Structure 1
Amino acid sequence: MSLKAQIDAYNVQKDAKLPADVLALMNTTNEELIAQHIKDNALQIGQKVENFSLANHKGEKIELADLLKKGPVIISFYRGGWCPYCNLELKALNDYLPQFKTQNAQLVAISPQLPDETLSTAQKNDLEFDVLSDVSNKVAEQFGLLFTLDERIQALYTQFGIDFEHYYGDKSFKLPLPATYVINQEGIITYAFLNEDYTLRAEPTDVMAALESENN
């Protein structure tokens, strides 16, 4: 089943479970975020990515430059382990990991979660790739993906029991746009999926096609 099909199935469940006023608020704030066109100022295909270093879920230092020595790098920015869309995406990428490896690609996921929460996300989803902790969103900002959650959604998520200070160590309510990049060994972006709509995610088959195109 494609990732889109999985997300569509989840949306049906969500629409059936949540009150109409909550769904309306989510849709309204999502449309308002889309209208900000944040992605237009983010890193795009053809641009070079500066080196960065982050700790993975095991506490090990992972440096982009080291990953690029082995092959192209896939980076998936996600919001957090509390986000069902993010978990669906991470699992879908994990399922595709053997195919990515045929192109010598390295896969990492990045979120602003604290290291303990990053570890929990990796364990919960049985992930076999590095999940990196970008505390304070420094790398997300480097990529131009950073935004602040609408105050109405902040209140709604708090009502849902999502404790941002627990997950992120602060209450800034700053998150990266969900985004997926493929970076070649020269550090140049060859694929970029960017969308302010958090319910839309890159299809692993499209990521794979980008890798194959680069190697052919």
Structure 2
Amino acid sequence: MSASQTESTSLTDATVALRSQLHDAYGVEALAPFDNDAAAMAADGVGSAAPAVGTAAPDFALPDIHGASRALTELLAAGPVVLVFYRGAWCPYCNLQLRAFQAALGEIEAAGATLVAVSPQTPDNSLSFAEKEGLGFTVLSDLQNTVARAYGLVFRQADAATTVQKALGIDLAEVNGDDSHELPAAATFVVDTDAVIRFRSISADYRWRVGPEEALTALPALTR
């Protein structure tokens, strides 16, 4: 099954409220480059080339926050995987989504699945984020978006958004360890033990997100 950006999700109210809070805090005009970028990404269909439901999930091996390599095949040996690609710890919408998944971690694990989050941040930056947020699931570093590229998710952030980001003290080159300003479209997949994708959600407009409830709906049929 797939989730479409025309659908309301379990996180819709929270993301709408977050957008309002950000506008109140920084001003609509100041955040216009980000909002324009998100709308343009949605219009361009960023991430539309991602593997479809029913197709094989590209395999990978990435370092976790402690530098240990974690392979998808290894993770799948323990059961289905809920795989979340996020832009970075600096993205408030990513933080909102990952906190929701953390709150539902017990339910995900009770369903026999492993939750994994992937971003282009360096392991050190991912470690700081995981510790700050108290994340109890696996967090992996996809340097230079190698795996995100295999999943068809990579885009280059617009220069206007990057300029505003730097003014706010966020330097992607420092956070990610490269100056490409490339990011993954936020995406959530549920992968079964045969490495087949059973649920897919791509947030071309990164302000739209699914929550754990949507991912959980795909798990019972995979763990019976």
Decide which moves more: 181-190 or 99-108: 99-108
2:123 paired residue number? 115
**Aligned counterparts, 1:10-89, within 5 A:** 10-89=18-97
2:4 paired residue number? none
Residue 23 of structure 1, CA deviation: 3.1
Checking the alignment, whether the CA contact within 8 Å between 2:201 and 2:210 is kept in structure 1 is yes
2:99 paired residue number? 91
* Partner SS for 2:70: strand
Residue 73 of structure 1, CA deviation: 0.5
**TM-score, reference length from structure 1:** 0.95
* Partner SS for 1:54: strand
* Partner SS for 2:48: helix
Q: What percent identity do the matched residue pairs reach?
A: 35
1:188 paired residue number? 196
Checking the alignment, whether the CA contact within 8 Å between 1:184 and 1:190 is kept in structure 2 is yes
Instruction: For residues 115-163 of structure 1, give each alpha carbon's deviation from its aligned partner in whole angstroms, at most 9, with x where no partner exists.
Output: 1001011011100011000001000001000000011111111111101
2:140 paired residue number? 132
Instruction: For residues 63-85 of structure 1, give each alpha carbon's deviation from its aligned partner in whole angstroms, at most 9, with x where no partner exists.
Output: 10011111000110001111111
1:166 paired residue number? 174
Tell me whether 1:212 sits opposite 2:220 in the alignment: yes
Aligned length: 215
* Partner SS for 2:89: coil
**Gapped regions of structure 2 (runs ≥ 5):** 1-9
Instruction: For residues 36-66 of structure 1, give each alpha carbon's deviation from its aligned partner in whole angstroms, at most 9, with x where no partner exists.
Output: 1122211121110132100111221111001
Code of the residue aligned with 1:33 in structure 2: it is M
Let me know the Cα RMSD of the aligned residues: 1.3
Distance 1:193 1:117 in 2: 25
**Gapped regions of structure 1 (runs ≥ 5):** none
Distance 2:155 2:161 in 1: 13
Checking the alignment, whether the CA contact within 8 Å between 1:90 and 1:125 is kept in structure 2 is no
2:11 paired residue number? 3
Residue 191 of structure 1, CA deviation: 0.2
1:199 paired residue number? 207
Distance 1:11 1:21 in 2: 13
Checking the alignment, whether the CA contact within 8 Å between 2:80 and 2:222 is kept in structure 1 is no
